[in-house]
Amino acid sequence: MGLMSGRKGLVLGIANDRSIAWAITEWLHREGAEIGFTHLPDTGDRPKNQNKVAKLVEPLGAKFLMPCDVCNDSHIEAVMTRAGETFGRIDFLVHSVAFAPPDDLTGPTYACSRKGFGLAMEISAYSLLAVAGAAKKQQILSDSASLLTLTYFGGEEVIPGYNLMGICKAALECGVRYLASELGPDGVRVNAISAGPVRTISAMGVGDFKQMRDLYEGVAPLRRNITADEVGKAGLFLLSDLASGITGEVLHVDCGFSTMGAPPADFAKGSVAAV
């Protein structure tokens, strides 16, 4: 019997096999979970997004796969209705959704447009509140359900190149804490994983991504970057009963990078003087 045997839930935000949501999904499936999925809505006659995600999740026995635009409340409500019809109640929900217009993301934060800022915040931060609220309203969360979202250290400290998305992640992490407080009396847990740099579609939109990866290899205590699989295992932990006493937390899976206040002595030639 697997760690998630008999447990049912939703995964929102798989884009392809490099998505962190996919790495989490693989571990959930391996441990016996039953899962419903969403994909980005397709435009035109070609179901490109649907087909891409279907190729991944159908071999896992996906209970359903449907489009979801998190800017559209009717889409979110439809997903929760389908989850209720399929599962009755759900035990977990993975929220792996973020976006910012490239022109607003790659430039300095003071130059981002009002419209771009609003869209980035709506998709990257508000969508977690919208999804949790819809699940609560439709009463499909079990009394030990676990909600999980994905963030990054740029929401806590300045990471050059992360820019507007750092502001969005700060709001997302604050949302995790408020949701944990509000849903806690129902037995529902809400947490986030702050993953180190992983080569996903979203990450490739961030400026200086290669430089960011190189920095982690030199500064992190483990002197390497994480793998998507390591985030997947951490996600499984937080969604399972092994983390039954953990809520409102941001778990850093970054080889220790976030613990460092300055580069280590071997980061570059010479030594780093302590101040």
Query: Which one is catalytic: 126, 162, 178, 216?
Result: 162
Residue 86: name the closest of 28, 147, 138 by CA: 138
3-state secondary structure of 30: helix
Q: How far apart are CA 197 and CA 124, in angstroms?
A: 17
Least confident of 165-169, 221-225, 240-244: 221-225
The residue with greater pLDDT, 24 or 44, is: 24
The arithmetic mean of pLDDT across residues 206-230, rounded, is 84
For the chain, the domains span 8-259
The pLDDT value recorded for residue 198 is 82
162 contacts 152 by C-beta, under 8 angstroms? yes
Judge whether 152 counts as a catalytic residue. Answer: yes
Percentage with pLDDT > 70 across the chain: 93
Task: Evaluate whether 131 touches 12 at the Cβ level (below 8 Å).
Answer: yes
User: Residues with Cβ < 8 Å from 245, sequence gap 6 or more?
Assistant: none
Answer whether residue 275 shows pLDDT above 70: no
Look over the chain and give the mean of its residue pLDDT values, rounded to a whole number.
93
Question: Which residue among the candidates 110, 126, 152, 178 is catalytic per the annotation?
Answer: 152
Query: Dihedrals φ, ψ of 142, to 5°?
Result: -70, 170
Banded model confidence at residue 206, pLDDT cuts 50, 70, 90: low
For residues 179 and 128, is the Cβ–Cβ distance under 8 A? yes
Contact 186, 200 (CB under 8 A): no
| Residue 55: pLDDT over 70 | yes
pLDDT for the residue 51: 96
Instruction: Clarify whether 162 is annotated catalytic.
Output: yes
Lowest mean pLDDT among 21-35, 135-149, 187-201, 259-273: 259-273
The answer on pLDDT for 63 being more than 70 is: yes
CA angle 212, 115, 200 (to 5 degrees): 30
Residue 71 near residue 120 (C-beta atoms within 8 A): no
* Amino acid (1-letter code) at residue 156: E
CA atoms within 13 A on the CB side of 77: 4
Q: Which residue has the higher pLDDT, 93 or 275?
A: 93
Q: Which long-range contacts (CB under 8 A, 24 or more apart) does 210-215 make?
A: 211/161, 212/159, 212/161
Domain 8-259 annotated CATH 3.40.50.720: yes
- Whether residue 166 contacts residue 121, with contact meaning beta carbons closer than 8 Å, is answered with no
**Which residue do the tokens 């778990």 mark?**
251
Residue 251, strand partner residues: 193
